[in-house]
Amino acid sequence: MNKTAQQTTLMTEGSIWKKIIAFAIPLFLGNLFQQLYNTADSLIVGNFLGSEALAAVSSSGSLIFLMVGFFNGIAIGAGVVIGRYYGAREIEKVQKAIHTTIAFGLAAGVLLTLIGVCLTPQLLIWMGTPSDVLPNSITYFRIYFCGSLAFVLYNIFVGILQSVGDSRHPLVYLIVSSVVNILLDLLFVGVFRFGVGSAALATIISQFVSAILCIIRLSRSPEDYRVHIRKIRFDLFFLKQIIQNGLPSGFQNSIISIANVVVQANINSFGKMAMAGCGAYSKIEGFGFLPITCFAMSMTTFISQNLGAKKYDRAKKGARFGILCSITMAELVGVLIYAFAPVLIAAFNNDPEVIAYGTTQARTVTLFYFLLAFSHCVAGILRGAGKATIPMLVMMCCWCIIRITYISIVVRIIPVINVIFWAYPLTWTLSSIIFLIYFVKADWIHGFDD
């Protein structure tokens, strides 16, 4: 076995299920630590600073994803391009695609910093953030977005490593950064009581740590995908490919997050206790999404490498296996969250009203996780096949247009927060039906090299 094969998982050879599982387990563990990393802010803030501070931090998810999601979608597209050439063993093209991706990440990180810092107050006002929560929310978000460069570059670096089949090193770096984040949260918030802004600062510092560890790894990797600082520049041919593959995913992320911002704005209208309770659930929900995201990401890498190597039957078999594993694991996690929701919500804040809101949301949506898993997994397969436009259109229609329309109409007729919660399983059902029809009927395998 050559040096490159030792460092990465080449998905075009060997047992299909072993390759997918071997790649997915580090992704799962990495996402687990990522979620711990994200949850630490809310858990520590909620216990040390109270429900008002928890509400300020808990409303962060949809707004952060709105700002960061677009660039992360581009990173996914870059991974597809790199994985395609890596599977075909066209190393010179792998190198050019990698260095163009990093150049894009540098530019995107600077741009996101400027946009996030400048637009945060207005975005929070548009979301209907209550006046007693708004000052803390502005502080948290502005500090958070000062670290945009680290967030974007980290996702770029991880996308590169995963595209060549290395999911182990990102796991190690996430563990390190998660520990750093939790320790700094406890120090800044628990010991020094610096306030919600210090929780964002802890997250920034830990993210820079993981980004630095990634670039050190890439600069010492096998020559096939080694990063050379002097080579970081835009290559227009590869930039075009990256944007073509990544723009639909980035646009999809932004559109979905806009819908989620609308959902959050409606939740905000029920007051800070609803914000705190639903925010606590959103952190728990992140753990439920772990098997969903890890298999979706595995599918993108597996499919892109195998179609690059023109192994079409192998790609089909791997896709079926990935879907089955994803929906099974997601539903098991959903059942567990459903059963233990009150205890889990109480870990963030023990106010009975906060627990009631969080538990209600959990017990409305968790049993439908299998639908979300199916949609995400098929979307990951199609992105790996170079057909990112299809999941973009499906999710834009189902998870944005229909979701917003439903909430805008029904909440006015039935002003109950449960109506908002039902928006998720209803739109997951619609997207799953459409994806199932496309996956069974359409020829998604061919046309990859067009």
For residue 4, tell me if it sits in a domain. Answer: no
For residue 450, tell me if it sits in a domain. Answer: no
Q: Which residue has the higher pLDDT, 170 or 446?
A: 170
For residue 189, tell me if it sits in a domain. Answer: yes
* Most confident range, picked from 45-59, 241-255, 405-419: 405-419
DSSP 391-449: HHHHHIIIIIIIHHHHHHHHHHHS--HHHHHTHHHHHHHHHHHHHHHHHHHS--SS-TT
Picking from 282, 329, 314, 364, the residue whose alpha carbon sits closest to that of residue 63 is 282
Q: Which residues contact 13 (CB under 8 A, 6 or more apart)?
A: 19
Model confidence at 9, pLDDT cuts 50, 70, 90, reads low
For residue 125, tell me if it sits in a domain. Answer: yes
pLDDT in tens, 15-31: 888 888 888 888 788 77
Phi-psi domain of 310 (left: phi exceeds 0; alpha: psi -120 through 50; beta: other): left
For residue 116, tell me if it sits in a domain. Answer: yes
**Cα-Cα end-to-end distance for the chain:** 32
Residue-level pLDDT at 432: 96
Residue-level pLDDT at 276: 84
Domain ranges, residue 33: 15-441
* pLDDT tops 80 at residue 260: no
For residue 302, tell me if it sits in a domain. Answer: yes
Cβ neighbours, 10 Å, residue 418: 10
Residue 243's φ and ψ, nearest 5 degrees, are -70, -40
For residue 449, tell me if it sits in a domain. Answer: no
Q: Which residue has the higher pLDDT, 449 or 335?
A: 335
Number of domains comprising the chain? 1
Residue 88, classed as helix, strand or coil, is coil
CA dihedral 87, 93, 95, 99 (to 10 degrees): -120
- What is the C-alpha to C-alpha distance for residues 156 and 107, in angstroms, rounded to an integer? 12
């387990």: which residue's tokens? Answer: 25
Residue-level pLDDT at 357: 93
For residue 2, tell me if it sits in a domain. Answer: no
- What is the C-alpha to C-alpha distance for residues 361 and 418, in angstroms, rounded to an integer? 7
Spacing of C-alpha 389 from chain mean position: 18
